[in-house]
């Protein structure tokens, strides 16, 4: 079995144009996004190991915010998750697996979490 490094960013909130119903299609909705990214892992992390041996957490946040196309309406949040995963695969060949969970905050009525989880493996 191979070693792997998992980077995680959880509960990152972003506004995204998404939704099926007419009341959802004209304004961005708040989404809570969590990501786990599996990377190929070096054999050892010494105290002076540079960041290039891993991946910046900011890259994950970027994929779930600035890398989402502005003004594009995603009918399904599954499309948002897929775009995030593809962005992470393209950005770094060491990324082997991406898990994206998205919670639609605007439709929660009693603090429940309503959303999806998408897992993609490097093609």
CB 102 within 8 A of CB 82: no
Domains within the chain, CATH numbers bracketed: 4-42+53-121 (3.30.1130.10)
> What does pTM read for this prediction?
0.91
Whole-number pLDDT of residue 75: 92
Q: Please report, in tens digits, the pLDDT of each residue of the chain (123 residues total).
A: 788 899 999 999 999 999 887 666 678 999 999 999 999 988 889 999 998 888 899 999 999 999 999 889 999 999 999 999 999 999 999 999 999 999 999 887 888 889 999 999 998
Task: Give strand pairing partners of 48.
Answer: none
**How far is Cα 42 from Cα 51, in angstroms, rounded to an integer?**
12
CB 5 within 8 A of CB 43: no
Whole-number pLDDT of residue 64: 96
Whole-number pLDDT of residue 108: 79
Q: Which of 73, 62, 81 lies closest to 26 in space, CA to CA? A: 73
**How far is Cα 75 from Cα 29, in angstroms, rounded to an integer?**
12
């Amino acid at each position: 079995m191979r070693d792997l490094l998992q980077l995680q960013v959880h509960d990152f909130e972003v506004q995204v144009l998404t939704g099926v119903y007419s009341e959802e299609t004209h304004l961005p909705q708040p989404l809570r996004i969590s990501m786990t990214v599996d990377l190929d892992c070096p054999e050892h992390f010494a105290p002076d190991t540079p960041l290039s041996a891993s991946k910046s957490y900011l890259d994950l946040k970027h994929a779930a915010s600035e890398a989402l196309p502005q003004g594009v309406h995603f009918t399904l949040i599954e499309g948002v998750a897929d775009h995030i995963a593809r962005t992470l695969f393209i950005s770094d060949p060491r990324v082997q697996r991406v898990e994206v969970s998205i919670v639609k905050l605007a439709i929660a009525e009693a603090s429940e979490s309503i959303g999806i989880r998408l897992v993609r493996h490097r093609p």
